[in-house]
Structure 1
Amino acid sequence: MTNAISRGRGLIATMSVIVVCSGVVQGYLTPLLPVVGGHVGIGGVGQNNLYLLSQVAFAVLTPLLSRWGDMWGHRRLLLIAVAMVAAGSLLIAARPTTATLALGMVLQSAVVGFFPLLAGILRSRSPEHGRVGMSVLVGALLLSIGAGGYVAGTLSDEHALAGLWTAVPFCVLAMAAAVALPSSTAARAGRFNTTAALLLTLGLGTLMLVLTEGESWGWASASSLLTIVAALLLLSAWVRVEQRSSHPLVDLRLLRNPRLAAVSAHTFCIAFGAIGFLGANAVYLGTEPDGDGLGLGLGARDISLVSLAMVAVGFVGSTLTPRLARAIGDRAVLVAGGCAGAAGFLSLVLFHSSVPRYLVGALIVGLSTGMFEATTRTLSVEVVDEAETALSVGVNEMALSLGAAIGAAVIGALWAGHTTARGAVTSTGYQWAWAACAVVALSGAAVALLFRSPAPVPALETGATPTGRTA
C-alpha cells in the first residue's frame, strides 16, 4: 500500500483525506457556537473569545509545527498534529463545557500544521506534482470547510449537541491516512529556538489578554497600560531574537524583500476581517431579533448554509484569480480583493436587518477571502528565490494567523464596550466591528499598491521564451 501512495495521484488522494479533516474541523464549530454557547452558558462576547483563543493558538502553532517538522520529520509531526486534533474533537463532543471547549479548540488548532507538513512530504516525494497537488488540496480544504459546517448544522437541528460529533469520524480517517503516508526524504536540519517560541507565545497571550479584558479593566487603567507595555516588550524581544538567530522560528529577515513585505501586510489586513470575523458572523446570525433589526435568529443548519454559501463564493473567487491576474496583473488583483472586502463589510454596516440583505455583504466578504488566499499564497512562493520558498510561505501564514487573531480580539473588545445588561451585543457593537473590518480591509488595498511585479526578462536572440513574470 505504501508503494502505491508514495507518488502521484495516490499520494495526493491520501493527503486529500487529511485536508478534508482539516476543513471539517475548521468549519463545523462556527455554526454551532450560538447553540453550544446557550447550552454551556456562554454569551456572544464569550463565544467570540473562544474563537479568538483558537486564532491565538493558530498563530503560535504555525511556526512551531513547521519548524519541528523540518527538524524531526514531516510525517512524524503530522501524526502528532492529527492526534492532537482528534483528541480535541473527541473532548468537545464527549463533554461540552466552557473549559473543554477552550482546551479542545486549542488542540484542534494543530490543523494549522497540516498544510506545511503535507507540502514537505509532497515536495520531496513527488515534486513533479507539486503545483497540481497543492491546487487539489486547497480546493478540498475550501469545500470541506463549508460541507463540515452544513453537516454539523443539520445534525444539530435534530439534537442540539449532535453536531459536535461531526469531526470525530473524519479525524479517524485522517489518522489512518497519516499512518499510510510515506516519510519525507528531505534532510532534517536546524535547531529549535526555544527562547523565540516562549517570547512569541507570551507576547501574543499578553496582547490578547488586554484586548479581551481592557474594557472591564478600563483602557486607561494601570492594569491595561502595564499589560500593553508588557505585550509590546515581549513581542519586540521576540523580533530581536529572531533577527539575530541562525535558526529562527520565523525568518523575519525575509521581510526585507519589499514584495514579500507588501504581500504579507496585505495578508494581515484582509485576514483581520475576512477570517477574524467568522466567529462574530455566526453569533450575529444566531442572535434572536430584538425588534430593532439586530440579529437574524437563524438555527444551526441555516447558519451553516450561509457559511457554505460564503465558502462556495470564495472557491469561485480563488479559481478565477489566476485568470484575473493574467488579465490585469497581480497588484490590481490584490487591490481589488481589499476593496471587495471593504465593500462587503460596509454593506453589513448599512444593510443587515434581513437575511437577503445580510447575504449580500457576507458573500462579497467570501469572494474577497477566496481572492486573497489564492493570490497571497501564490505570490509568497513566487517573490523569493526557490531556496527560500518554505520560509516565505511560513512568514505569510504567520501574517494570516496574526491578522485573524488580532481581528477577532478587536471585534471582541468592541463588543465588550457595547453590551446590554443581559450580556447581549448591541447593534452599535456589531456596526463598530464591521466598520473596523472595512477600514482595515481598505488599508490592505492601499498596501497592495506598494507591490511591484518583477520586470520581464528580455527574450534571447535565439527566440527562447522569457523566464520572468509579466503580470
Structure 2
Amino acid sequence: MSDAPARPAAAGTGSTAPPPRPNAVVAVLALAGIVVSLMQTLVIPIVPELPKLLDAPASDTAWAVTATLLAAAVATPVVGRLGDMIGKRRMLLTSIVLLVAGSVLCAFADSLVPMIVGRAVQGLSAAVVPLGISILRDTVPAGKLAGATAVMSASLGVGGALGLPAAAFIADNWDWHVLFWTSAALGVVALLLVVLLVPESPTRTGGRFDLVGSLGLASGLVALLLAVSKGADWGWTSGATLGLAVAAVVILAAWGRWELRAEQPLVDLRTTARTQVLFTNLASIALGFSMFAMSLVLPQLLQLPEQTGYGLGRSMLTVGLVLAPQGLVMMAMSAVSAGITKAKGPKVTLMIGALIVAAGYALNIALMSEVWHLVLVSCVIGAGIGFTYGAMPALIMSAVDPSQTGAANSLNTLMRSLGTSFAGAIAGVVLAQMTTDFGGYALPSENGFKVVMAIGAGAALVAFLLATFIPKRGTAARPTAAEGEAEGEAGAREAASHEA
C-alpha cells in the first residue's frame, strides 16, 4: 500500500467503464473464488494415501499440503500490491493461470518432487479472492457492493464445503490424477469467463514495486509458518523449530522497519495501524483460528471407529456430505449479512457472526453423538462464517483508499490464514496430549475434541471482543462515478503538465 496518487487505467489495457452487467461480474468472480478453494480441498481425501501413491515417507508427502500453505502466504500480499500497481484484473488472470499450471503439473506427477512443486504453484493463486473483492469495489455500483462482497467472500467456504464430497467421490471412483485434471478444467473455465466478462479496474497506483519488502515479508512468513506447521513433527523445543521462530521475529521486525521508511512500501503499515484496519485484522486472526477448529474436529469425529464410544465410523464421502450444507448456508447468509451491513454497518455484522460461531461450538460440545448433530453444528458455524466473511472486507475497504484495496484485502486474507495455521498447531498439541487407548493405538479422546471446540468458541468470543474496538459505521472510501471521472480528468491534466 502506497501514498502515491491513484490514476486511471491506461487506454488499451481493457474496459475502463463500469461493466454493463455487474451481476455477471459478481458471478464470475465468485466462481473464480470457488475454484481456488476447491483446489485447496481436492487433495484432502488422498493425503493418507500419498505415501503409497508417490512412494515416499509420510513426513515428506506432508509437504504437498505445507507447500501450498507457504506459497499462498507469500503470494497473497505480493499479488495484492501488484494488483493495485498494474491492474487487479491482470493479476487475477495471472493467478488463475498459475492455478491451471500447478494443477496440470500435479495431474502428471507420479513422484514427490513434481507434486510438491505443482502444489506450490497452485498455492500462488490464493490471492484470487482478495483481488476479486477489490475489483468489485472498483466496478460494482455502490448499492450492490455489500451484497457482492459478501457473495465473493462466501465463495471460499462454498468451494471448501462442496469440494470435499466431490473430491472424495472422484478419489473413490477414478484415478487420483483426475482430481487435478478437474481443478485444471475448472480453472480454464474461470479464466475464459474473466477474460470475457470482467473489466479492468480503473484505479491504479503505479510506482515501483518494493522488492526488498516483498523478500523480507516472504522470508519472515516462511520461517514463521514452517515453525508453526512443522513444530509438532520436529518437536516444539527442537533447534529447527526454535531457530525458525527466532528468525521469523528478527526478519519481520527488520521488515517492519524497512516498510516504515520506504517511499512506496509493499504494505503501508501506517494505514494498517488505523484503528479500524488494525482491529479488523486482529479479529480476522481470531476468526481464522476459530473456523479451522471445526475443519479439524468434525471430520475426525465422523471417521473414528464407533467402538470408541464417540466416533461415528463414517467414510470420507460421508464427511464431505455432512459438511457440504455448510457451504450452501454460507452463501444464503451472504444476502442476510449484506442487509445487516447496509442497515447497521459491517462492525455489527462481524460481531453477530462471531457470536454465532461461538454458539455453534458450544452446541457441538453438547451435540456430537449423531450425524445430524454434526450437520446442524456445521450449518450454525457456517452461518456465522457467512456473516464474518462478508463483514471483514467491507470494514477494510471502508478504511483505506481505493488505490490500496488490493494490498489491504490481501493482508486481511493473510491474517485469516495465520489464524488457521496457529489453530492447527494448538489443536494438534491438544489432541496429541489428550488421547485414549484403542487396540494399542492412541486416538484423540472425546474430552480432547471438547477442549478444541471450547478453544474454538473462545477464539470466536475474542474476535467479538476485538470487534467492539472498531469505530462506529463510517462511509466507505469508494469514489462515485462522477468522482472517478473527475479523478481521470485530473490525472490526464497532471500527465499533460509533466509532458509539457
Q: Taking structure 1 as the reference length, what is the TM-score of the superposition?
A: 0.80
CA–CA separation in structure 2 for the residues paired with 1:186 and 1:89: 31
CA–CA separation in structure 2 for the residues paired with 1:97 and 1:427: 37
2:261 to 244, 248, 273: 244
Instruction: Give the AA of the match of 1:194.
Output: L
Contact 1:202 1:234 in 2 (8 A): yes
Q: CA deviation at 1:406?
A: 2.8
Residue 122 of structure 2 aligns to a residue whose secondary structure is helix
Whether 2:399 is the aligned partner of 1:383: answer yes
Query: Which residue is 1:58 aligned to?
Result: 72
CA–CA separation in structure 2 for the residues paired with 1:271 and 1:158: 33
Contact 1:270 1:441 in 2 (8 A): yes
Residue 369 of structure 2 aligns to a residue whose secondary structure is coil
**Superposition map of 1:289-328 within 5 A:** 289=305, 291-325=307-341
Note closer, same or farther for the CA distance 1:90–1:427 as it changes in structure 2 (3 Å cut). farther
Instruction: Give the AA of the match of 1:61.
Output: A
Residue 362 of structure 2 aligns to a residue whose secondary structure is helix
Instruction: Give the AA of the match of 1:8.
Output: P
Question: Which string of whole-angstrom CA distances, capped at 9 and with x for unpartnered residues, describes residues 89-135 of structure 1?
Answer: 22333436655554333322233222344456566667679726545
2:282 to 265, 270, 292: 265
CA–CA separation in structure 1 for the residues paired with 2:45 and 2:102: 20
Whether 2:165 is the aligned partner of 1:154: answer no
Note closer, same or farther for the CA distance 1:317–1:50 as it changes in structure 2 (3 Å cut). farther
**Superposition map of 1:34-73 within 5 A:** 34-40=45-51, 51=65, 53-73=67-87
Residue 166 of structure 1 aligns to a residue whose secondary structure is helix
Query: Which residue is 1:106 aligned to?
Result: 120
Residue 102 of structure 2 aligns to a residue whose secondary structure is helix
Q: CA deviation at 1:24?
A: 3.0
Q: CA deviation at 1:369?
A: 0.9
Contact 2:346 2:394 in 1 (8 A): no
Contact 1:70 1:188 in 2 (8 A): yes
Question: Which string of whole-angstrom CA distances, capped at 9 and with x for unpartnered residues, describes residues 156-212 of structure 1?
Answer: 343363444432211121232344455554445122222222222222222222223
Instruction: Give the AA of the match of 2:460.
Output: A
Note closer, same or farther for the CA distance 1:453–1:220 as it changes in structure 2 (3 Å cut). same
Note closer, same or farther for the CA distance 1:423–1:246 as it changes in structure 2 (3 Å cut). farther
Contact 2:360 2:381 in 1 (8 A): yes
Instruction: Give the AA of the match of 1:212.
Output: S
CA–CA separation in structure 2 for the residues paired with 1:47 and 1:435: 31
Whether 2:375 is the aligned partner of 1:359: answer yes
Instruction: Give the AA of the match of 1:26.
Output: S
Instruction: Give the AA of the match of 1:298.
Output: R
CA–CA separation in structure 2 for the residues paired with 1:143 and 1:34: 17
Structure 1, 233-242 or 40-49: larger mean CA deviation: 40-49
Query: Which residue is 2:468 aligned to?
Result: 449
Contact 2:279 2:467 in 1 (8 A): yes
Whether 2:226 is the aligned partner of 1:209: answer yes
Q: CA deviation at 1:86?
A: 0.6
Note closer, same or farther for the CA distance 1:118–1:311 as it changes in structure 2 (3 Å cut). closer
Structure 1, 129-138 or 51-60: larger mean CA deviation: 129-138
Contact 2:100 2:188 in 1 (8 A): yes
Note closer, same or farther for the CA distance 1:235–1:330 as it changes in structure 2 (3 Å cut). same
Instruction: Give the AA of the match of 2:99.
Output: V
Residue 190 of structure 1 aligns to a residue whose secondary structure is coil
Query: Which residue is 1:33 aligned to?
Result: 44
Instruction: Give the AA of the match of 1:226.
Output: G
Q: 5+ residue gaps in structure 1?
A: 457-471
Note closer, same or farther for the CA distance 1:258–1:73 as it changes in structure 2 (3 Å cut). closer
CA–CA separation in structure 2 for the residues paired with 1:164 and 1:285: 28
CA–CA separation in structure 2 for the residues paired with 1:113 and 1:353: 38
CA–CA separation in structure 2 for the residues paired with 1:82 and 1:333: 31
Query: Which residue is 1:256 aligned to?
Result: 273
Q: CA deviation at 1:32?
A: 5.5
Query: Which residue is 1:399 aligned to?
Result: 415
Q: CA deviation at 1:415?
A: 4.5
CA–CA separation in structure 2 for the residues paired with 1:57 and 1:415: 27
Note closer, same or farther for the CA distance 1:433–1:119 as it changes in structure 2 (3 Å cut). closer
Q: CA deviation at 1:67?
A: 1.7
Note closer, same or farther for the CA distance 1:410–1:201 as it changes in structure 2 (3 Å cut). farther
Q: CA deviation at 1:250?
A: 1.9
Q: CA deviation at 1:322?
A: 3.4
Q: CA deviation at 1:10?
A: 4.8
Question: Which string of whole-angstrom CA distances, capped at 9 and with x for unpartnered residues, describes residues 291-318 of structure 1?
Answer: 2245434334322222321112222332
